[in-house]
Amino acid sequence: MRAARLYRYDPEMREELKLEQVPDPEIRHPNEVIVRIVAAGLCRTDLHIIEGVWREILDPAGTLLPYTPGHENTGIVEAVGSAVTAVKPGDRVICHPLKSCGVCLACRMGEDMYCTNGRFPGLDSDGGFAEYLVTNERALVKLPEEVDLVEVAPLADAGLTAYRAAKRAARLVPPDGWAVVIGIGGLGHLALQVLRVLSAARLVAVDIAPQALERAKELGADYVLPGGPELVAQVRELTGGGAHVVLDFVGERGVEQQGWQMLRKGGTHLIIGYGGRLEIPTVQMIFQEMAVAGSLVGNYRELSELMDLAARGLVRVYVQRYRLEEINRAIDDFKHGRYFGRAVIVP
Ligand SMILES: [Zn+2]
Ligand SMILES: [Zn+2]
């Protein structure tokens, strides 16, 4: 089969993925499933992988390369292991990003991302920038005919991450309260739609790009703000004392320090974007009784819920399609912000 493979980490990102012929994958465990890829979303994490940001965590022994990235996958079941009962060849599926074990305590609690024996195809093993992917039965959510497999591919990770954070935010903000979404890109534009569905709270969208703010209005934001050094003061004034919850999809370049400063007492700062460093005086944490929390992808239940919202047209993804041969152009377009929403690779 054809696959786009990474041969070398490069902080400057001059390195390109190499399109080549590799052996077709094989089922090695009775619970495994081979999925014929219909679409694979391109994620900022893929760029960070190429840059070597994840090297220490994913590849401490330096033995991972060459390998195939791609962790936002949809497709058609091609073959199943002898123990698989939940899916059969021909089923349309989206892949939860983690190939979780199912028997550890975290898996039994339903928190797939906490699995202590999980593998993450596309991060620590071969992923979906190829014609076929090996995952396991537990990772697969079956999709009905009306769901477009290309459009929903980014929901496997980007959408799921946005969904978990937005669902948590919807529980934290009262219907007459305020939620602020910072960064209306690949994840933020999805979080906004999920919040619109799950909460009656007033939604404030923040982005430095004017076209992102235009999209934010179409997707249900009540107010939009352009970001910048005045942002904290603007939010405090608009909300009459601060937001109940802030979702930060940027998490770097100083934005991470703005999130908690725009909370009202008892507010929560949810961190989804990453790269920066948070410094909060402990006395502020107490005086404001604030909470700061990270959010890690999402579990199987949350992916199922999100697929139901997508099937009913309540959440839609803006996608830009590229063929597998065009993957390096997609990466270049992503780096230079030449599209809104998410790029999807179609083999
Ligand atoms: Zn991702
Ligand atoms: Zn597990």
Domain total of the chain: 2
Residue 12 has pLDDT above 90, yes or no: no
**Amino acid 123: pLDDT:** 96
| Integer Cα distance of 158 and 317 in angstroms | 10
Q: Do 165 and 283 fall within a single domain?
A: yes
Q: Residue 15 — pLDDT band, cuts 50, 70, 90?
A: confident
* Beta strands, E only, the chain: 2-5, 18-21, 32-42, 73-80, 92-95, 132-136, 140-142, 178-182, 202-206, 223-225, 243-248, 263-271, 291-294, 319-323, 342-346
Helices (H), 104-239: 105-108, 149-152, 158-172, 188-198, 210-218, 231-238
Mean local confidence (pLDDT), 169-173: 98
C-beta of residue 128 within 8 angstroms of C-beta of residue 71: yes
> The domain that contains 266 carries what CATH number?
3.40.50.720
Q: Do 183 and 321 fall within a single domain?
A: no
Cα 136 to middle of ligand 2, angstroms: 12
pLDDT, tens digit, 9 for 90 and up, residues 241-259: 999 999 999 999 999 999 9
Q: Do 174 and 89 fall within a single domain?
A: no
Q: Do 141 and 8 fall within a single domain?
A: yes
Q: Do 74 and 120 fall within a single domain?
A: yes
Cα 221 to middle of ligand 1, angstroms: 24
| Integer Cα distance of 153 and 183 in angstroms | 21
Cα 188 to middle of ligand 2, angstroms: 29
Q: Do 97 and 166 fall within a single domain?
A: no
Q: Which domain holds residue 323?
A: 2-157+298-346
Cα 158 to middle of ligand 1, angstroms: 5
Q: Do 195 and 286 fall within a single domain?
A: yes
pLDDT, tens digit, 9 for 90 and up, residues 64-119: 999 999 999 999 999 999 999 999 999 999 999 999 999 999 999 999 999 999 99
Mean pLDDT of the chain: 95
Looking at the DSSP bridge assignments, the partners of residue 29 are none
Q: Do 105 and 13 fall within a single domain?
A: yes
Q: Do 58 and 176 fall within a single domain?
A: no
> The domain that contains 21 carries what CATH number?
3.90.180.10
Cα 311 to middle of ligand 2, angstroms: 28
Q: What are the counts of helices (DSSP H) followed by strands (DSSP E) for the chain?
A: 12, 15
Q: Do 121 and 14 fall within a single domain?
A: yes
Cα 164 to middle of ligand 2, angstroms: 19
Q: Minimum mean pLDDT among 4-18, 107-121, 271-285: which range?
A: 4-18
Cα 309 to middle of ligand 2, angstroms: 27
Cα 128 to middle of ligand 2, angstroms: 22
Cα 175 to middle of ligand 1, angstroms: 30
Judged by its nearest atom, the ligand closest to the C-alpha of residue 106 is 2
Q: Do 35 and 168 fall within a single domain?
A: no
Cα 73 to middle of ligand 1, angstroms: 10
Q: Do 242 and 273 fall within a single domain?
A: yes
Cα 208 to middle of ligand 2, angstroms: 40
Q: Final residue of a domain: which of 251, 274, 294?
A: 294
Judged by its nearest atom, the ligand closest to the C-alpha of residue 101 is 2
Give me 252's structure tokens: 């770097």
